Amino acid sequence: MQFSLLENLEFQEYVPDGDEKILMHQGSPTFTGFCLRQHCLRPDSYCQRATSMVMNNSVIEFILFGLTQDAGKQKAIFGVFLMLYLATLMGNFLIVVTIKTSRTLDSPMYFFLFYLSFADACFSTTTAPRLIVNTLSQKKTISYNECMTQVFAAHFFGCMEIFVLLLMAFDRYVAICKPLRYTTIMSQRVCGVLVILAWVGSCIHSSAQIVLALHLPFCGPNVIDHYFCDLQPLLKLACMDTYVINLLVVSNSGAICMIKYLTLTLVLFHEIMQLNNNVTEFILLGLTQDPVRKKIVFATFLLFYLGTLLGNFLIITTIKTSQTLESPMYFFLFHLSLSDTCFSTSVAPRMIVDALLKNTTISFNECIVQVFSFHFFGCLEIFILILMALDRYVAICKPLHYMTIMSQRVCGVLVAVAWVGSCVHSLAQVFLALSLPFCGPNVIDHYFCDLQPLLQLACADTYVVNLLLVSNSGTICTVSFVMLMFSYVVILRSLRNHSAEGRRKALSTCVSHIIVVILFFGPCIFIYTRPATTYPLDKMIAVFYTLGTPLLNPLIYTLRNAEVKNAMRKFWSKKLVSDDK
């Protein structure tokens, strides 16, 4: 059996020989259903797939609003963007032809520049021609299929351009920082493989965008307030809840753009600052230089670190497997335990290993990575503690609105903002560290890399950098601590209106939070809110918030929380029973 499918997805009436008449869709705004007979009932048939598309979408074309609806401005846009597009094509064409025909431009940098120009030309071609034509056209429509094709092409060549820019930054990094090994690392084969990976990665990214776009049902509105098709304006037209899809778009396109932009910025900044630095590694003195005490430090902090990993792993596993711990408080507690684990891991392993080594050096790049990870997860822990205080405030002071205010979507957005804020803070710290010139001294009187001890080694006036450090880390610690303590004061005052049982339960939860806050923020404020001076006591104080707090958090939240303890008992009792069977 066959049937005809028009370009606009309207079905016609068709009567095959010996078969019953099939009534097909005739362009109604909503598909009310039709009768499929015989061969069309096969689940893998083209008929079924076409039917599914029609049932999900009544929109067969979109209207592009463009940049403006003013007739006079549209003529100006036509002239300006036509010249810009022609200049783009001309410029990139000249680069492509020159690199291909010149024998002197055969280095990896020009190899990547060739692909960058090609990606630029294709990227602009995905949007510019239609924008230019639409400024002179009365009918500014684009079919559904053309819209999907434009989404794919724009994301493919846009992502390709990002990847090639990364490769060019990597090429410059190797040329400047490892000049003697440049020809070996950036060989012709390696460059070819890197470009192939860029093409494959771009294809994967754009395919993911297309899958998301095809998943959207469109039931009526079809006016796109843009000059080309993209996922963000399409999400506004979809007749469904687009929260999950928007989250996937952000985690795909948004994360790619943000991570690659930050990577490019850091690499280029690192290349520039590397030219001013004679120091390639640092020596960490650790907590002590005495061999006997080093063994004690090794054993003690190995136990601390293993206890931190075990305790936080138990909390993470319990929350993920228990159906009773699904409230926002435990959602935040999960992320707190995760940040605790990563925070201690950024410092403890190297400290433990260095206690057994004579040569306790750390390379410049490893030092910068440690600064980033230490501040990232430390700041994340601060933000999560604030979110937990907010959760307790809403639960105690606004119990009737709790489920509305602290919904799953709101909690997810708050945690995402915490991760982004932590990234911004730690990048600021890295930029400060990379701006420091090191000319000779390389002995750090500490057990990990941080800005305060690095300021002592810089061969420049560090007053401004220290001021920025205090205004960044010091302000975050102080303001967050004041906010947390104020919120808990408000919570404790509001307990007067609750029952005795309610006061006891809320007080138990708040006291455990306050203990964590004081243990974590006290040392942080002492370290990061003073001038660039170091004291012998600094290293011991740092132990409290780098190793002490991550170890105590699981103990406080399990020993003082009946729900967590009960969930752990159930989890491990089920585990033991399943193991016995």
Give mean pLDDT in consecutive 10-residue pieces for the chain, a chain of 581 residues: 37 39 36 36 42 59 86 86 93 92 88 92 92 86 90 92 88 82 88 91 89 85 87 87 79 72 66 65 86 89 92 86 81 90 92 87 87 91 89 84 88 89 88 82 87 85 82 86 86 75 72 78 84 73 85 75 72 62 55
Using CB atoms within 10 A of its CB, is residue 2 exposed (0-12), middle (13-18) or buried (19+)? exposed
CA 57/CA 28 separation, integer angstroms: 11
Q: Is the Cβ–Cβ distance between 342 and 377 less than 8 Å?
A: yes
C-alpha to C-alpha distances, 406 to 398, 414, 485, 509, nearest whole angstrom? 11, 10, 21, 18
In contact, 273 and 222? CB cutoff 8 Å:
no
CATH topology of domain 61-274: Rhopdopsin 7-helix transmembrane proteins (1.20.1070)
Beta bridge partners of 14: 22
Quote the DSSP letter at residue 501: H
Helix (H) or strand (E) holding 339: helix 328-345
What SS3 class is residue 541? helix
Report how far residue 8's alpha carbon sits from residue 537's, in angstroms, rounded to the nearest whole number.
76
Residue 101 token pair: 């025909």
Per-residue confidence (pLDDT) for residue 346, from 0 to 100: 92
Three-state DSSP at 276 gives: coil
Residue 511 has a pLDDT of 77
Q: Which CATH superfamily is domain 281-579 in?
A: Rhodopsin 7-helix transmembrane proteins (1.20.1070.10)
Distance CA 291, CA 457 (A): 26
Predicted local distance difference test score (pLDDT) of residue 154 = 92
- How far apart, in Å, are the Cα atoms of 337 and each of 341, 374, 437? 6, 15, 36
Written as six digits, the tokens of 304 are: 């601390």
Using CA atoms of 491, 496, 498, 502 in order, give the dihedral in degrees to the nearest 10: 60
pLDDT of residue 268: 63
* Nearest Cα residue to 23 out of 44, 51, 45: 51
Take residue 354 and report the two structure tokens written for it. Answer: 């260095």
Pairing of strands 281-284, 223-224: unpaired
Burial label for 485, CB within 10 Å (0-12, 13-18, 19+), is: middle
Rounded to whole angstroms, the Cα distance separating 195 from 115 reads: 8
Q: What is the CA radius of gyration of the chain?
A: 30
Query: Which pLDDT score is estimated for 33?
Result: 36
DSSP structure class, residue 13: P
The residue type found at 371 is: V
Measured CA to CA, the distance from residue 374 to residue 382 in angstroms comes to: 12
Please report the pLDDT score of residue 26 as a whole number.
Answer: 36
Query: Which pair of tokens denotes residue 22?
Result: 């099939």
484 touches 382 (CB < 8 A) = no
Q: Following CA atoms 213, 219, 225, 226 in sequence, which dihedral angle do they give, to the nearest 10 degrees?
A: 30
Helix (H) or strand (E) holding 305: helix 291-321
- Spans of all domains in the chain: 61-274, 281-579
User: SS3 of 433, please?
Assistant: helix
| Domains 61-274 and 281-579 alike in fold | yes
Sheet with 281-284: strands ordered across = 361-363, 281-284, 443-444
